[in-house]
Structure 1
Amino acid sequence: MYKNILIATDGSSLANRAVEHGVNLAKSLGANVLLLTVTERFHVFALEADQLEETSDSFREHMRKQAERTLSEASEIAHNLGVEATTLQMEDDAPYRAIIRMAEDHVCNLIVMASHGRGGISALLLGSETMKVLAHSNIPVLVVR
């Protein structure tokens, strides 16, 4: 049924539980796993406090390190469960679009996500990325609470 599973993570503890759940599902089905994290782009005019004091280069380096840490943790979860996973980091202002696009590009037939992740003011203004994936994806989405 599910042969290619995309698991989206932001590195939060809830997202790590979704990674574990998705990897266990993939293991039981013999499915391939793609671990994805999406980082935001640098904006000259920003609402996020971490962008107000950074230059474009320092912000990109900070996001690269965060993505590396996030994917390393997710890969370790998969490895500990005996599953080999591919990792991918994307940069996009609309993470939900990147998640859907990567699932389509990699011919995934299931997306696994946590019910919510990191928030802050952008989450209040933009809403839940999980809700947006649910609303816009033609691919089934498994939401882990």
Structure 2
Amino acid sequence: MFKHILIPIDGSDLSRRAAEKAIELAKLCQARITVLHVIPPFQTIAYMGALLAATEFAYNEQAKTDGQQYLADIQALAEAAGVPFAGEADFGEHPNETILGVAKAKQCDLIVMGSHGRRGMTRLLLGSETQKVLLGSEVPVLVCQ
């Protein structure tokens, strides 16, 4: 049914559960997975430039380290299930655009991701990366809660 599944992760328990479900599905379909962690850029405040530059560097290094750990955790699950794995951590201003771009570039035929379950006014004001992916995707999106 599916040959290549994209799994965006953010390090949360919810994204890990979505990844576990995606790996189960990939095993059933004999599909491969690509796991993507999108790192939001450092948000700056314009004063004390030297201090902020050092802070941005530290943020970027820690974010890359965290991203690699998130990927390693999911890779271990995929290897245990015998599912072919590829992973990447990329910086992206808009995670939904990065997710959709990777899905298209890698010719994924399914995206599996978690939803943080925002409701009501919070959802209206903040939106949801999952909702944005749902609205912009050319392939099916499976949302896990």
- TM-score bracket, normalised by the shorter chain, equals 0.7 to 0.9
1:74-119 Cα deviation digits (max 9, x unpaired): 11111222212101111101101100000000000100001228xx
Q: What displacement does 1:124 show? A: 8.5
* 1:19 partnered with 2:22: no
The one-letter code sitting in structure 2 at the alignment partner of 1:3 is: K
Distance in 1 between the 2:125 and 2:65 partners?
A: 26
1:135 aligned partner:
135
1:49 aligned partner:
none
Query: Where does the alignment leave 5 or more consecutive residues of structure 1 unmatched?
Result: 47-51, 118-122
1:11-33 Cα deviation digits (max 9, x unpaired): 11111111010011011111111
The alignment yields a C-alpha RMSD, in angstroms, of 2.2
1:110 aligned partner:
110
| Structure 1 residues 78 and 66, CA gap change in structure 2 (3 angstroms) | same
TM-score normalized with structure 1 length: 0.85
The one-letter code sitting in structure 2 at the alignment partner of 1:132 is: K
* 1:9 partnered with 2:35: no
1:79 aligned partner:
79
Runs of 4+ in 1 over 4 A off after TM superposition: none
Report the secondary structure of 2:38's partner residue: strand
The number of equivalent residue pairs is 135
Q: What displacement does 1:126 show? A: 3.5
* TM alignment of 1:27-46, pairs within 5 A: 27-45=27-45
The answer on whether the counterparts of 2:31 and 2:84 sit within 8 Å (CA) in structure 1 is no
Report the secondary structure of 1:5's partner residue: strand
Report the secondary structure of 1:113's partner residue: strand
Q: What displacement does 1:125 show? A: 5.5
1:101 aligned partner:
101
Report the secondary structure of 2:67's partner residue: helix
Identical amino acids, percent of aligned pairs: 39
The answer on whether the counterparts of 2:9 and 2:15 sit within 8 Å (CA) in structure 1 is yes
1:55 aligned partner:
55
Distance in 2 between the 1:15 and 1:124 partners?
A: 22
Larger Rg: 2
Distance in 2 between the 1:96 and 1:53 partners?
A: 27
1:120 aligned partner:
none
